[in-house]
Structure 1
Amino acid sequence: MDIVYTSDSCDSDSREQKTVDFGHANKRHLDEDLLRMCKTKKLAEDIETVLLNHNNLSAVPASIAEFENLRVLDLSNNSLDRIPEVVMQCQLSTLIVKNNRLGDDSLPKSMLAASATLKELNLSGNRFTQFPEQVTELKALKYLYLGGNQITNVSKDIWKLQNLQLLSLGGNLIAEIPDTVGLLNNLHALVLCDNLLEALPSSIARLVHLKSLLLHKNHLKHLPLDIITLKNLTELSLRDNPLVVRFVKDMTLNPPTLLELAARSIKVAALPYGPGDLPRTLNEYLQTANCCVNPNCKGVFFDNRVEHIKFVDFCGKYRIPLLQYLCSSKCIDDPSASVSHGEASSSMMRKVLLG
Structure 2
Amino acid sequence: MQSYSSDSSSDGESLNRLLDFTHQLLNTETLEMHLKECAVDEKKAAEQIETIVLNHNQLDTLPTNLYKFINLRTLDISYCGLCILPDIFKHNAITTLIAKNNNLSNESLPKTFTVNYKLRELNFSGNKFTTFPEQLLNFPNLKYLYFGSNQITTITRNIKNLKNLQILSMGGNLLIEVPDTLGDLKSLQALILCDNEIGTLPPSIANLKHLKSLLLHKNQLKTLPPEIVGLRNLTELSLRDNPLVVRFVSDMIHNPGSLLELAARTIKLVGIEVNRDDVPYTLFMYLENAHRCVNPQCKGVFFDNRVEHIKFVDFCGKYRIPLLQYLCSSKCITDEEEVERPNRSYMVKKVLLG
Q: Find the counterpart in structure 2 of residue 42 from structure 1.
A: 44
> Contact (CA 8 Å) 2:173, 2:196: kept in 1 or not?
yes
Q: Which residue identity is paired with 1:36?
A: E
Equivalenced residues, count? 318
Q: Is 2:65 aligned against 1:60?
A: no
For 1:224 and 1:170, the matched residues in 2 are separated by 20
Shift of 1:328: 5.3
Q: Find the counterpart in structure 1 of residue 21 from structure 2.
A: 22
For 1:265 and 1:72, the matched residues in 2 are separated by 72
Distance of aligned partners of 1:204 and 1:58 in 2 relative to their CA distance in 1, 3 Å threshold: same
Alignment identity in percent?
A: 51
Shift of 1:236: 1.1
- Aligned residue runs from structure 1 range 100-119, under 5 A: 100-111=102-113, 113-119=114-120
Q: Is 2:155 aligned against 1:157?
A: no
Q: Find the counterpart in structure 1 of residue 53 from structure 2.
A: 51
> Contact (CA 8 Å) 1:228, 1:315: kept in 2 or not?
no
Shift of 1:222: 1.1
Q: Is 2:86 aligned against 1:84?
A: yes
For 1:315 and 1:193, the matched residues in 2 are separated by 22
Distance of aligned partners of 1:89 and 1:103 in 2 relative to their CA distance in 1, 3 Å threshold: same
For residues 218-277 of structure 1, give each alpha carbon's deviation from its aligned partner in whole angstroms, at most 9, with x where no partner exists: 1111111111111111111111112253346743568499699659969xxxxxxxxxxx
For 1:322 and 1:5, the matched residues in 2 are separated by 56
Distance of aligned partners of 1:251 and 1:124 in 2 relative to their CA distance in 1, 3 Å threshold: same
Judge which range, 240-249 or 90-99, deviates more.
Answer: 240-249
Structure 2 counterpart SS, 1:30: helix
> Contact (CA 8 Å) 1:89, 1:114: kept in 2 or not?
no
Q: Which residue identity is paired with 1:77?
A: Y
Q: Which residue identity is paired with 2:21?
A: F
Shift of 1:67: 0.6
For 2:84 and 2:307, the matched residues in 1 are separated by 51
For 1:146 and 1:170, the matched residues in 2 are separated by 7
Distance of aligned partners of 1:217 and 1:72 in 2 relative to their CA distance in 1, 3 Å threshold: same
Q: Find the counterpart in structure 1 of residue 202 from structure 2.
A: 201
> Contact (CA 8 Å) 1:119, 1:140: kept in 2 or not?
yes
> Contact (CA 8 Å) 2:215, 2:239: kept in 1 or not?
yes
Normalised TM-score (structure 2): 0.79
Judge which range, 302-311 or 138-147, deviates more.
Answer: 302-311
For 2:266 and 2:230, the matched residues in 1 are separated by 31
For 1:16 and 1:325, the matched residues in 2 are separated by 63
Judge which range, 50-59 or 238-247, deviates more.
Answer: 238-247
For 2:318 and 2:234, the matched residues in 1 are separated by 11
For 1:259 and 1:192, the matched residues in 2 are separated by 41
For 1:328 and 1:30, the matched residues in 2 are separated by 70
For 1:326 and 1:187, the matched residues in 2 are separated by 35
For residues 184-241 of structure 1, give each alpha carbon's deviation from its aligned partner in whole angstroms, at most 9, with x where no partner exists: 1100001111111111111111111111111111111111111111111111111111
Q: Which residue identity is paired with 1:148?
A: S
Q: Find the counterpart in structure 2 of residue 353 from structure 1.
A: 353
For residues 111-147 of structure 1, give each alpha carbon's deviation from its aligned partner in whole angstroms, at most 9, with x where no partner exists: 2x24311111111111111111111221011011111
Shift of 1:334: 2.5
> Contact (CA 8 Å) 2:309, 2:333: kept in 1 or not?
no
Shift of 1:72: 0.7
For residues 275-298 of structure 1, give each alpha carbon's deviation from its aligned partner in whole angstroms, at most 9, with x where no partner exists: xxxxxxxxxxx9xx9986546x26
Structure 2 counterpart SS, 1:213: strand
- Aligned residue runs from structure 1 range 257-272, under 5 A: none
For 2:337 and 2:233, the matched residues in 1 are separated by 31
Q: Find the counterpart in structure 2 of residue 231 from structure 1.
A: 232
> Contact (CA 8 Å) 2:291, 2:303: kept in 1 or not?
no
For 1:294 and 1:331, the matched residues in 2 are separated by 6
Distance of aligned partners of 1:300 and 1:203 in 2 relative to their CA distance in 1, 3 Å threshold: farther
Runs of 4+ in 1 over 3 A off after TM superposition: 5-8, 86-89, 247-266, 289-295, 298-307, 325-330, 335-338
Structure 2 counterpart SS, 1:128: coil
> Contact (CA 8 Å) 2:268, 2:301: kept in 1 or not?
no
Structure 1 counterpart SS, 2:160: helix
Normalised TM-score (structure 1): 0.79
Q: Which residue identity is paired with 1:209?
A: H
- Aligned residue runs from structure 1 range 1-355, under 5 A: 1-5=2-6, 15-28=14-27, 29-39=30-40, 40-111=42-113, 113-247=114-248, 250-251=253-254, 255=261, 293-294=294-295, 297=297, 299=299, 307-326=308-327, 329-334=330-335, 337=338, 352-354=352-354
Q: Find the counterpart in structure 1 of residue 281 from structure 2.
A: none
For 2:128 and 2:270, the matched residues in 1 are separated by 55
> Contact (CA 8 Å) 1:245, 1:311: kept in 2 or not?
no
RMSD, aligned α-carbons: 3.3
> Contact (CA 8 Å) 2:293, 2:302: kept in 1 or not?
no
